[in-house]
Structure 1
Amino acid sequence: MAMTWYDAFGRRVDLTALKEEQAAPVVGSVRRHDALHPAAGLTPGRLAQILRDSIDGDPENYLALAEDMEERDPHYGSVLSTRKSQVAGLDITVEAAGDDTKSIEIADMVREYVGRDEFEIELRDILDATGKGFSCTEIVWDTSESQWRPKRLAWRDPRWFLFDRVDGETPLLRNGGTNDPLKPFGWIFHSFKAKSGLPIRGGLARGVAWQFLFKSFTAKDWAIFCEAYGQPLRLGKYDAGASEADKEKLLEAVTNIGTDYSAIVPVSMAIEFIKADIAGSHELYEKRADWLDRQVSKLVLGQTSTTDAQKGSYAVGKVHDGVRDDIEKADAKALSATLNRDFTRPFVDLNHGPQTKYPKIRIGRPDEVDVEALVKNVTALVPLGLPVSKKTMLDKIGLPEPKAGEELLVAAKVAAPVDPNANPAQLPPKSGVAVNSVGGVKRDAIERAAAEMMGDWMPLVSPIVAGLEAEIAAASSVEDVKALLAKRFEGLDAAAMTELLANSAFVARLAGVVDDQL
């Protein structure tokens, strides 16, 4: 019995239809690439009509205008490209549906495809929905060798689509007199929602359109102003008795200076250049254009500080980066959901049959880990019994599992401390040959000097400390203890102690200079 497939919306899949492209451009078809430029000569009344038509079932002019705005307005094109590129360039991971061999095999199949270099470009095409509200990407399948592999993800011009007039959400492909539903398992339909509502009203271009219109008026007025008042005035002067021929010659000379930058006039005539010193009024155009650009930045990026120069913009930009991160995460999650519904499921079903659980494509930045704090906490808690996996720690700090035979880093061994109350006879012997290790642990020259000093120090202080604890315990006041200690120190050979400390310091200094590690 032949297997039957259904897509995420419960529609039956026609495998035969999937082997042919549904929206390939055809000569004489309504699906054409000829240019529409509604931005040319755009007026407020015309823009309002375009926006109304897009809701009433004819979005072609609106979608063409959205394309025009990306090309004609450098600021909008830049910030929109930034938003799309930022999401398309994020890390992509594929989580297997389970730990069994089959789940891992399926995940590896998806992982191999999304790991292609071309996939980032395909994601940018899918994210064309960011501006226009939706995007339709056709999956061109390769069925050779008895397998179903996406040959490419083909971007299709959004002007080729419209929406069902009943629900306003189901995309339909223009096809002359009929409008065809998109083939199940054949399309990635991504809807962008800058706000709740119909897909055609969810794109950023709708909000930018009015700013684009007003800015185009401002730029045009600015150009006219500069042309009229930005050039120096060329003033020709003639004598009172000049003839009409002389006047015409002077006028021709003044005109030629503006085009040819050269002219000749009689000595009796003069040409004066009056500098165009205009203060204040010309700044209105720049300020208005900048203000409109900032509104576009707010709409597209959620902030202005990383795109528009302003006082204190670095500090403010650090704060606004958090807003931009929120937008990035929302876009990445929405894109992941679309891919898992319209790409992962068809890819898996056509090659392995319907599954109860599917691998998940995840797009986003990895969670940042404070490695220093993590190591500090683990170091403190493991001795208290906290179980921590070695593999987990390696993953958290970004280190791979060491391979067999590789040289490993080990902690430096520290010599065991010498007990100051130990019997001098039990300390390492003082002899002409230095004792360089204890229990197999190497000691440097400073450690050896300290051990030797302990051997010399004990005979000097033993008479002073002998029985001192009991006498202090029997004392009745602080004054009695002070008197007791003073009496004890009277027997201390201060000269011998001073010499011992000086010699030890000298030995330690020499060991440090020569870097003695024996």
Structure 2
Amino acid sequence: MPILDQYGRPIPKEPPKAARGGLPVWRPFAGYPSRGLTPERLARILREGAEGYLAEQAELFLEMEEKDALLFSLLQTRKLAVIGLDWRLEPAEASRQGRRVLGALEEVWWNLPLEDLMLDLLSAIPQGVSVVAVAWEWDGLLWRPARFRWVHPGALAYEEAHDRFLLVGERGEAEPFPYGAAIEHRYKARSGLPTRAGLMRSLAWLYLFKHYALKDWVVFAETYGQPYRIGRYDPAAGEEERRRLEEAVRSLGADAAGVISKDTEIQILEAAKGQGPQVYESLIRLVNREMAQAVLGQTLTSSEGDGGSYALAKVHERVRIDLLRADARALAKTLREGLFKPFVAFNFGPELLDLAPYPVPEVEEERDLESRARVLQALQGMGLTLPEAWLREEFGVPAPGEGEAVLPARALQERRPRGMVAGQAFVDALADRLLERAPMPGLPDLLRAIAEAQDYEDLRRRLLALYPGIPFAELAQLLDAALTLSELAGRLAQRQDSGLDS
């Protein structure tokens, strides 16, 4: 009984003929829908895209990314964050056959144009879907993916009945991709149809309003940013003099020269100062922040204004870490389903499909090792023992090999304590010395006096009874000195821990 793919088709043992020389891909005619875009036209394009006709929607989304510099930068940041991760391959199982499949795939995997392939697949983030055609070649030992070609999303049509994307030909016919002939990557920003899942559907209206404001701003600058040239003529001036005056006024815009009668006058009025188009700038800044929020999950790393700064942005990283993990995991799943499993089916047989290795992205949050080291030092100073193997793994410090030269390490007991540990030890010793100078009653007696006192006057009498021979003026001086020394010790510890005092 043949093994079927997710659409109920038998999985072949060799690449389909259409994928052996490269899948012919038709590129739809570019209609440039962003030119003269209106709210009514945008609504129609989005409605047709939701219904599965992606040609105009896909072309519009490509133009948006091309024409809006900020949007391009945000999407590039999102994509490159995934591409820049370290990737490794893991076997599906630890059996001999699983390691054999992994070895064969690794021989091919690291020779592929991975950055280009991942960049093409990650265009699903703005579009909602991205398809890359695969050309397979036989090298005498293995069927290996030889070439990749990005399929224009406008050449796709969505078939809701089978939840799949079809390739549209020049005559309008739509055919499914043969097994292994293409890698289909989807981005699911929200629940619902995949044709409505791309980020650009959320950004399209922002793009429209932003570029309306930008266009009006340019018109404002062109109209009101230039000085006015006003010609005045005498009522008795003839037709010829008025004509020459008009020519002179118009030529002043470029030539700044003209010949007019002495009975006429030209006055140049400067544009009003301080009347800038704040409304356009405010709208564009608002739209930019909304775009950054939608694409990166936060705004602090996209600009420094409005409360954002590099220091605050370091908390958020370049892309919000949960978005990065989700993008990387989704891409890993797509690579296994669309590339690794066909590789296993064509070279080892469809029955071993589950032995396809797993691509694993290594997503790690940036850690402040210096702060972590200070915390561990403080814990060790309090008596907590730390295993050396765990510490080496935590800080990425390898164990020295046999005969390998190492730098001498001073024992903790020989080192002068610094920072919080030293400060706390100083304050503890200070409290002991204070008790030596001014003997205090036991804590239970003091708490009992406070609990049994009826009012402040009663508490005063009880305390005088507990401290019969202590001069209170001297005690006040001792306490004041102890508090001052404790505060100074805390400030010094803070400076040492922050590295300001070396």
Cα deviation digits, residues 379-400 of structure 1 (max 9, x gap): 979x999887x6x766554356
Cα deviation digits, residues 392-415 of structure 1 (max 9, x gap): 76655435676676545565799x
* Code of the aligned partner of 2:333: A
Cα deviation digits, residues 51-86 of structure 1 (max 9, x gap): 111122322111111111111222212211211111
Distance (Å, rounded) in 2 between the aligned partners of 1:393 and 1:99: 29
Q: What is the match of residue 193 of structure 1?
A: 188
Task: Answer yes or no: is the 8 Å Cα contact 2:90–2:102 preserved in 1.
Answer: yes
Task: Answer yes or no: is the 8 Å Cα contact 2:292–2:299 preserved in 1.
Answer: yes
Matches within 5 A, 1:213-228: 213-228=208-223
SS in 2 for 1:306: coil
1:352 aligns to 2:348 (yes or no):
yes
Distance (Å, rounded) in 1 between the aligned partners of 2:386 and 2:8: 49
**Equivalent of 1:172 in 159, 166, 172:** 166
Matches within 5 A, 1:478-493: none
Q: What is the match of residue 300 of structure 1?
A: 295
1:38 aligns to 2:36 (yes or no):
no
**Which stretch shows the higher mean deviation, 271-280 or 359-368?**
359-368
SS in 1 for 2:18: coil
Cα deviation for residue 134 of structure 1 reads 0.4
Distance (Å, rounded) in 1 between the aligned partners of 2:268 and 2:33: 42
1:152 aligns to 2:147 (yes or no):
yes
Distance (Å, rounded) in 1 between the aligned partners of 2:300 and 2:368: 27
Task: Answer yes or no: is the 8 Å Cα contact 1:23–1:156 preserved in 2.
Answer: no
Cα deviation for residue 279 of structure 1 reads 3.6
Q: What is the match of residue 237 of structure 1?
A: 232
Distance (Å, rounded) in 2 between the aligned partners of 1:8 and 1:399: 46
In structure 2, the CA distance between the partners of 1:23 and 1:352, relative to structure 1 (3 Å rule), is closer
SS in 2 for 1:20: helix
**Equivalent of 2:54 in 48, 59, 67:** 59
Distance (Å, rounded) in 1 between the aligned partners of 2:294 and 2:308: 18
Distance (Å, rounded) in 2 between the aligned partners of 1:23 and 1:53: 34
In structure 2, the CA distance between the partners of 1:66 and 1:23, relative to structure 1 (3 Å rule), is farther
In structure 2, the CA distance between the partners of 1:177 and 1:286, relative to structure 1 (3 Å rule), is closer
**Which stretch shows the higher mean deviation, 285-294 or 177-186?**
177-186
Distance (Å, rounded) in 2 between the aligned partners of 1:52 and 1:220: 26
1:286 aligns to 2:281 (yes or no):
yes
SS in 2 for 1:140: strand
In structure 2, the CA distance between the partners of 1:23 and 1:223, relative to structure 1 (3 Å rule), is farther
Distance (Å, rounded) in 2 between the aligned partners of 1:198 and 1:24: 30
Cα deviation for residue 37 of structure 1 reads 0.7
Task: Answer yes or no: is the 8 Å Cα contact 2:159–2:165 preserved in 1.
Answer: yes
Q: What is the match of residue 118 of structure 2?
A: 123
In structure 2, the CA distance between the partners of 1:384 and 1:297, relative to structure 1 (3 Å rule), is closer
In structure 2, the CA distance between the partners of 1:100 and 1:158, relative to structure 1 (3 Å rule), is same
In structure 2, the CA distance between the partners of 1:241 and 1:355, relative to structure 1 (3 Å rule), is closer
* Code of the aligned partner of 1:217: Y
* Code of the aligned partner of 2:40: G
SS in 2 for 1:146: coil
Distance (Å, rounded) in 2 between the aligned partners of 1:63 and 1:248: 54
1:329 aligns to 2:325 (yes or no):
yes
- Report the RMSD for the aligned CA atoms in angstroms: 3.6
Cα deviation for residue 210 of structure 1 reads 1.0
Task: Answer yes or no: is the 8 Å Cα contact 1:371–1:396 preserved in 2.
Answer: no
Q: What is the match of residue 71 of structure 1?
A: 66
**Equivalent of 1:89 in 84, 87, 91:** 84
Cα deviation for residue 155 of structure 1 reads 1.1
Q: What is the match of residue 360 of structure 2?
A: 362
Q: Which has the higher contact order (CA 8 A, sep 6+)?
A: 2
Cα deviation digits, residues 244-269 of structure 1 (max 9, x gap): 21111111111111132332334443
**Equivalent of 1:207 in 202, 205, 219:** 202
Distance (Å, rounded) in 2 between the aligned partners of 1:227 and 1:325: 44
Distance (Å, rounded) in 2 between the aligned partners of 1:143 and 1:401: 45
Distance (Å, rounded) in 2 between the aligned partners of 1:72 and 1:225: 21
Q: What is the match of residue 274 of structure 1?
A: 269
Distance (Å, rounded) in 1 between the aligned partners of 2:392 and 2:101: 26
* Code of the aligned partner of 2:286: W
TM-score, normalised on structure 2?
0.71
Distance (Å, rounded) in 2 between the aligned partners of 1:337 and 1:281: 51
Cα deviation for residue 10 of structure 1 reads 5.5
**Which stretch shows the higher mean deviation, 107-116 or 170-179?**
107-116
Cα deviation for residue 149 of structure 1 reads 1.1
Distance (Å, rounded) in 2 between the aligned partners of 1:160 and 1:259: 48
Distance (Å, rounded) in 1 between the aligned partners of 2:185 and 2:175: 18
Cα deviation for residue 153 of structure 1 reads 2.7
In structure 2, the CA distance between the partners of 1:24 and 1:210, relative to structure 1 (3 Å rule), is farther
Matches within 5 A, 1:401-420: 406-408=404-406
* Code of the aligned partner of 1:71: E
* Code of the aligned partner of 1:11: R
* Code of the aligned partner of 1:12: P
Q: What is the match of residue 18 of structure 1?
A: 16
Q: What is the match of residue 334 of structure 2?
A: 338
Cα deviation for residue 22 of structure 1 reads 8.4
Cα deviation for residue 144 of structure 1 reads 2.2
**Equivalent of 2:137 in 130, 135, 142:** 142
Cα deviation for residue 289 of structure 1 reads 1.6
Task: Answer yes or no: is the 8 Å Cα contact 1:95–1:360 preserved in 2.
Answer: yes
Distance (Å, rounded) in 2 between the aligned partners of 1:154 and 1:239: 73
**Which stretch shows the higher mean deviation, 179-188 or 192-201?**
179-188
Aligned pair count?
A: 407
Task: Answer yes or no: is the 8 Å Cα contact 1:369–1:396 preserved in 2.
Answer: no
Task: Answer yes or no: is the 8 Å Cα contact 2:131–2:151 preserved in 1.
Answer: yes
* Code of the aligned partner of 1:36: G
Q: What is the match of residue 306 of structure 2?
A: 311
Distance (Å, rounded) in 2 between the aligned partners of 1:413 and 1:217: 68
Distance (Å, rounded) in 1 between the aligned partners of 2:354 and 2:23: 37
Between the aligned residues of both structures, percent identity stands at: 34
Cα deviation digits, residues 186-217 of structure 1 (max 9, x gap): 22111101111111100011111111111222
Cα deviation digits, residues 323-379 of structure 1 (max 9, x gap): 7122111111111111122222222333334154442111242365676758958x9
